[in-house]
Amino acid sequence: MTYLPSLKETDPEIRDLIMEEETREWNKMRLIPSENYASHAVMEATGSVLTNKYSEGYAKKRYYEGQQMVDQVEILAIERAKKMFNMPHANVQPYSGSPANMAVYHAVLEHGDTIMGLALPHGGHLTHGWKVNFSGKTYNSSPYELDPETELLNYDKILEQAKEVRPKMIIAGYTAYPRIIDFVKFREICDEVGALFHADTSHITGLIVGGVHPSPYPMADTGITTSHKTLRGPRGAMILCQEEHAVKIDKAIIPGLQGGPHNNTTAAIAVALKEADTQEFKDYAAQIVANAKTLAEQLNSHGFRLVTGGTDNHLILFETLKCKGISGRDAARALDKAGIVTNCNTVPFDTGSPFNPSGVRIGTPAVTSRGMKEAEMKKLGDWMSAAIDNADDNAKLASIAQEVEELCESFDCPGITPSNWA
């Protein structure tokens, strides 16, 4: 039998870095809303022999032989996605959310068509028509904004704008919007102006399947979601659409944008969808929201200004510059030194640079995956306030980091086994 050296033997530098990352994810509070802990089962599928197989094409229609098992894996993932989202067609091959959006646009739009998505500085995504992205360069983008008084979606204003610009597509779904999205309103707006309704539920898919956020499916003409974030799957994506768009969307993925799918990721998506179809996952989704609300209330009690005044989902966006006299970038760096991992973020109508914005974005999916609940969120809010108030005091930040680590030691991390650190 051929000797197969371990990663430790083959590349100890990379192995050590991976172990250090495991330690970091175990010892710190991870509050970046797009991050989570994938289960051991998901990671097992991701690291399986399916990574060895090339499978250009679709199940039962490949350009390579030896697809007997791969085809079954992809069919399972597709059928689970169709059932979970109540949509007639699903494509599980996109490598990530951005190419998934690109494929949808290429399939149903013509270059130069007008699209409407939330402006990036207000919580939208680059691929929803922002000017530096392909979507803003390829299509005539007319971004809508949040209401300057409430910082909420103003559906009357969105309709008014849609009547004026007559978009071919309106996009709903965001990266930094902490409130419930009224997808029924978007469907009505699209119908009134004759636009396609495209949903990007990447951030909230886990909340949707968990029953704590309304679903745009099956109302949407097209939709995409990443498979990680609140869904707790691998780093991949799915496209969902009505049957009339299925052929064009499949062709937009291959041969349009991609070659062979990552079969290991497809398998892991199937596993994540099966995990999400349980009462345990529904309880987890409800706890995400409960934790976010508690953390928001605690931050508010410490004098932070919360965008929209609070949250309805997994995400909290709060301003630091005016209320604490510190930029979002400096606040996020202080929090990291204190063992609390966040990301700086623009707030609506921010006057700061995207590289040095006025706010911080946080979310509760990862800490909820560890089993933390409201009591831990209150402690976390206190620590965050203390860290930002003492951003220049390295000793104080180190002291908070030690307290954070001690709390984290009491909660396991899905998919991470401390014994691996030996």
Nearest Cα to Cα of residue 56 among 42, 74, 44: 74
Q: Is 191 a catalytic residue?
A: no
Q: Is 229 a catalytic residue?
A: yes
**Active-site residue, from 145, 200, 250, 376:** 200
Cα 224 from Cα 237, distance rounded (Å): 7
Tally of CA atoms within 13 A in the half-sphere of 13 that contains its CB: 0
Report whether the peptide linkage leading into residue 354 is cis, meaning its omega lies within 30 degrees of zero. no
Cα 62 from Cα 73, distance rounded (Å): 14
Cα 411 from Cα 44, distance rounded (Å): 21
**Active-site residue, from 30, 168, 187, 229:** 229
**Active-site residue, from 62, 82, 235, 333:** 235
Residue 173 Rama label (left phi>0; alpha psi -120 to 50; beta): left
SS3 call for 397: helix
**Active-site residue, from 22, 35, 44, 54:** 54
Dihedral sign from CA coordinates of 75, 261, 252, 111: positive
Q: Is 201 a catalytic residue?
A: no
**Active-site residue, from 114, 226, 308, 368:** 226
Cα 316 from Cα 308, distance rounded (Å): 9
Cα 29 from Cα 336, distance rounded (Å): 9
Q: Are 345 and 357 in contact (CB under 8 A)?
A: yes
Nearest Cα to Cα of residue 173 among 123, 134, 132, 139: 123
Q: Is 393 a catalytic residue?
A: no
114-116 and 89-91: which strand pairing? unpaired
Helices 263-276 and 68-85: crossing angle in degrees, nearest 10, is: 40
Element (H, E) at 74: helix 68-85
Q: Which residues are catalytic?
A: 54, 56, 200, 226, 229, 235
